[in-house]
Structure 1
C-alpha cells in the first residue's frame, strides 16, 4: 500500500532506511530496519523472508504456515514496528531492535495472561430452558 498515494506521507522515501519508497509492506516487512527485528523472532517467521506484493498476501501465507502463538507474535511485532516508525517520524526517536522485541514480548505475555485469566472464569450458566411463545394479538415483536 503506497502511503504517498493515500496522502499519509509527504515524502515517498522510507524515513528509516532512506533507500526505498515508503509502503506499508516496506516499513513492516522489507525495510532493513524491520529485517533486523524479524531476524530475532521465531524461526518460522525468520524463514519467511520472501518478498510479497502486498501485506494481505503475506498475512495469508503466515496464517497458513504459523500456529496460533506464532501468529500472535507476528501481529504484536507488526504493531510495534508500525509504532516504531511513527515514533521516529513524529518524535525523532528510534527504538533499537532488541528494545522493540522486549516490548513486543512483554505485550505478548500480557495478552496471553489476559486470555488465560478469561478462560479461568467459569462461564455463566443458565439451566432454565425457555421456549418461544407467540406475542399476544395486539402486541408486535421486532427483532
Structure 2
C-alpha cells in the first residue's frame, strides 16, 4: 500500500504491527493466525508461521499428505485463503469485521457448495435456478483454468482493493494475488480493475486457456 501512496507507513490496516505483505495478510497477521487456529488446519510444530509465503503455502496445501490423521479436506485450504483475502478487503474498504469462526464456516460452505456442484455436473436442470440462490463455483473444462476476481472500493478514502485466485479443473489452487491502488470512481471500476489485473497476471504466468469469473452481477451483465 505504501508503494502506491495509499498508506503512509506500510503497516497492516488491521493489526498495525507489521508491513502488509501477502504473507502477512494470509498467515502472520494475528487475525489470519486466529482463523487458521480455529480451522481444521493444524498450526506449525512451533506455533509460528514462516516468514516465507511459499513455505506457508506449501505447508497448508500439503499438510494432509504429511499428517493423514488430521482429517483435513483437500479442498478446504483454497477456500480459507480466499475468505481471508475477501475479509481483508471487506474490513479495509467497507468496515466489515467478520469473526474467525464465521470465516471458517463460510469457507466450509464454499467448499461444500463446490463439491455439491461437482456431483451435480451430470444432472440436467429441469428449471432455471432462482435469482437469489447461492452461486456455486463451477469447475472449468479439463486443461482450462478458472480465475475468480473480487474488487472493493472505499469512497471516503478514494481507495480500491482487488484480488484474484486461480484454480484448475480439479479445484487445485494455482496462483493468487491481491493489491491496493487509488481510484476515483464507482465500485464497478474496482471490479473491472480486478479482472484487468487478473488477465495481465495470468498472461504473464503463461496461461492462455483461462475463464474469468467475477462476483459483480453488474459487471457480468455488461460483459455478457
Q: What is the TM-score normalised by the length of structure 2? A: 0.46
Contact 2:83 2:103 in 1 (8 A): yes
2:32 aligned residue = 34
Tell me if 1:10 matches 2:7: yes
Equivalent residues, number: 115
User: Residue deviations 1:109-140, cap 9 Å, x none?
Assistant: 1011112223x56xxxxxxxxxxxxxxxxxxx
Deviation at 1:90, TM superposition (A): 0.7
1:108 aligned residue = 111
2:64 aligned residue = 66
User: Residue deviations 1:52-88, cap 9 Å, x none?
Assistant: 2332222223333225963421110111010000011
- Counterpart of 2:90 (choices 87, 90, 95) is 87
Q: Distance in 1 between matches of 2:52 and 2:6?
A: 19
- Decide whether aligned partners of structure 1 residues 102 and 63 sit closer, same or farther in structure 2, where only a CA change above 3 A counts: closer
Q: Distance in 1 between matches of 2:111 and 2:38?
A: 15
1:54 aligned residue = 52
Structure in which a larger fraction of residues adopt helix = 1
Contact 2:27 2:56 in 1 (8 A): no
Structure in which a larger fraction of residues adopt strand = 2
- Decide whether aligned partners of structure 1 residues 50 and 4 sit closer, same or farther in structure 2, where only a CA change above 3 A counts: same
Deviation at 1:47, TM superposition (A): 2.5
Which sections of structure 2, spanning at least 5 residues, go unmatched?
66-70, 124-224
Compute the RMSD of aligned alpha carbons: 2.4
Q: What is the TM-score normalised by the length of structure 1? A: 0.68
Q: Distance in 2 between matches of 1:70 and 1:23?
A: 27
